[in-house]
C-alpha cells in the first residue's frame, strides 16, 4: 500500500514538472524570419528606441507587457540588436533593463540539424545579445577608468597588473590597446616607472614593453626590451624596426644583438638592409671579425689539445712497451 502511494507521489511530481520541460514552442526558420520583418513589431522597436533615448525605461517595460509572448521575444531581440548596432551608451536604468533580459528564458525554439542529429536553439536569442552589450559597456567603463588614472598620473603599473592575478591577461590586453590613446605626458610617466626604478622583482610582459617602446621611442625602454627574455614579440619588433630603416631603428637593431637569442635574427636583418649605411657595415664587419677571431682561437685550442693528447698517448705507449 505504501509502495503504491509512493509510486503515485513520484508520478505526480514528474507530471508537475512536465510543463516546464515542454513549455518551449518549436518554430520553423522561415516563420522566424517573417516575424523579425513584421512591420508592426519593427515600428514598435523604433518607438521603444525613442523611449530609451529619453531614458524612459519604465515606458519601455510597460510597452512590452502589451504584446503577446511571441511578440515580446521578437521585440526584445530586435531592440537589443539595435542597441548593440548603434552602440547606445549605458545609463543606470538602461543597464538594469539589459541586465534583466539575461534572466529571461526564450520559449520559442527552432530545430537545427547536424550529421545524423538535431538540436533545439532559441528562435530569438535575446539574452546572448544582452550579454554582449553588457560586456561592451563594462569594457568602456574600464577604458575610461584606465585613461583617467593614467592622465592623473595615478596608474601604478606594478600594482595594477599584479594585484589581481585572475585579471592580469585582460588588463594587459586592455593596456596594450589603450596606450596609443594616452597623452605623451602620461606615456612618459609610465615609462619612468620602468626605467627610473628597480623593477627586477617585477617586469611587465614583453608585449607591453614593445608597445610602450614603439609609442615613446625611448631608448631606455628598448634597452629593457633587449635585456628581457626573447620571444616572438621581440622578434616581431626587430622586423618592424628593419622595415622602418631610420637611424634610430638601425641603432636599436644593433643594440638587440646584445641579447644572445635575438642576435642571429638581428644580424640577419641588418645584413639584408639595402642600401646599407656605413655604420651598419662597420658594425657587421666588427661582429664578423670577432667571430673569425673566436673561430681561430677555437681552432688553435683544438690543435693544442689534440697535440697534447697525441703526446700523452705516445708517452703512455712507450711506457707500456718498456
In a domain, 53, yes or no: yes
Q: What is the pLDDT of residue 122?
A: 95
Per-residue confidence (pLDDT) for residue 147, from 0 to 100? 97
Q: H helices of 179-218, where?
A: 184-195, 206-216
The set of cell numbers assigned to 182 is: 594616452
Domain span including residue 128: 25-137
Give me the number of domains the chain comprises: 1
pLDDT at site 277:
86
What Cα–Cα distance (Å) separates residue 73 from each residue in 76, 84, 131, 238, 275?
Answer: 5, 17, 16, 53, 66
Domain contains 100: yes
Do 241 and 252 form a contact (C-beta atoms < 8 A)? yes
> Is position 51 within any domain?
yes
Domain membership of residue 29 (yes or no) is yes
123-139 tens-digit pLDDT: 999 999 999 999 999 99
Low-confidence ranges of the chain (pLDDT < 50): 1-22, 293-301, 303-305, 307-309, 311-313, 316
Domain assignment present for 15: no
Query: Quick one: pLDDT at residue 290?
Result: 58
Whether 265 is covered by a domain: the verdict is no
- Candidates 114, 139, 110, 136; CA nearest to 125 is 110
Does residue 277 lie in a domain region?
no
Report helix, strand or coil for 115: coil
Instruction: Establish if 114 belongs to a structural domain.
Output: yes
DSSP letter string over 224-272?
A: HHHHSPP-HHHHHHHHHHHHH--HHHHHHHHHHTTSTTTHHHHHHHHHT
pLDDT tens track for 260-301: 999 999 999 999 988 888 888 889 888 766 555 444 444 444
For residue 130, the tally of other CB atoms under 10 A from its CB is 23
Amino acid at each position: 500500500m505504501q509502495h503504491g502511494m509512493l509510486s503515485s507521489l513520484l508520478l505526480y511530481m514528474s507530471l508537475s514538472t512536465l510543463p516546464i520541460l515542454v513549455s518551449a514552442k518549436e518554430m520553423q526558420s522561415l516563420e522566424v524570419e517573417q516575424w523579425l520583418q513584421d512591420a508592426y513589431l519593427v515600428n514598435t522597436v523604433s518607438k521603444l528606441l525613442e523611449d530609451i533615448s529619453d531614458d524612459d525605461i519604465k515606458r519601455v517595460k510597460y510597452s512590452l507587457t502589451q504584446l503577446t509572448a511571441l511578440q515580446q521575444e521578437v521585440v526584445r531581440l530586435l531592440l537589443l540588436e539595435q542597441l548593440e548596432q548603434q552602440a547606445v551608451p549605458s545609463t543606470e536604468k538602461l543597464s538594469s533593463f539589459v541586465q534583466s533580459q539575461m534572466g529571461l528564458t526564450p520559449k520559442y525554439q527552432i530545430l537545427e540539424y547536424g550529421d545524423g542529429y538535431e538540436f533545439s536553439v532559441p528562435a530569438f536569442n535575446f539574452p546572448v545579445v544582452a550579454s554582449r552589450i553588457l560586456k561592451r559597456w563594462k569594457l568602456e567603463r574600464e577604458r575610461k577608468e584606465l585613461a583617467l588614472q593614467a592622465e592623473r598620473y595615478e596608474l601604478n603599473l606594478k600594482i595594477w597588473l599584479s594585484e589581481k592575478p585572475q585579471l592580469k591577461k585582460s588588463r594587459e590586453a586592455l593596456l596594450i590597446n589603450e596606450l596609443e590613446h594616452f597623452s605623451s605626458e602620461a606615456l612618459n610617466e609610465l615609462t619612468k616607472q620602468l626605467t627610473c626604478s628597480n623593477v627586477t622583482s617585477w617586469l611587465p610582459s614583453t608585449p607591453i614593453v614593445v608597445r610602450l617602446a614603439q609609442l615613446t621611442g625611448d631608448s631606455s625602454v628598448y634597452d629593457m626590451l633587449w635585456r628581457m627574455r626573447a620571444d616572438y614579440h621581440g622578434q616581431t619588433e626587430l622586423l618592424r624596426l628593419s622595415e622602418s630603416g631610420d637611424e634610430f631603428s638601425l641603432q636599436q637593431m644593433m643594440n638587440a644583438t646584445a641579447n644572445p637569442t635575438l642576435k642571429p635574427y638581428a644580424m640577419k636583418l641588418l645584413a639584408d638592409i639595402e642600401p646599407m649605411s656605413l655604420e651598419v657595415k662597420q658594425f657587421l664587419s666588427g661582429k664578423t671579425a670577432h667571430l673569425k677571431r673566436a673561430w681561430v682561437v677555437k681552432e688553435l685550442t683544438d690543435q693544442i689539445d689534440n697535440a697534447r693528447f697525441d703526446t700523452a698517448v705516445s708517452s703512455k705507449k712507450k711506457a707500456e712497451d718498456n
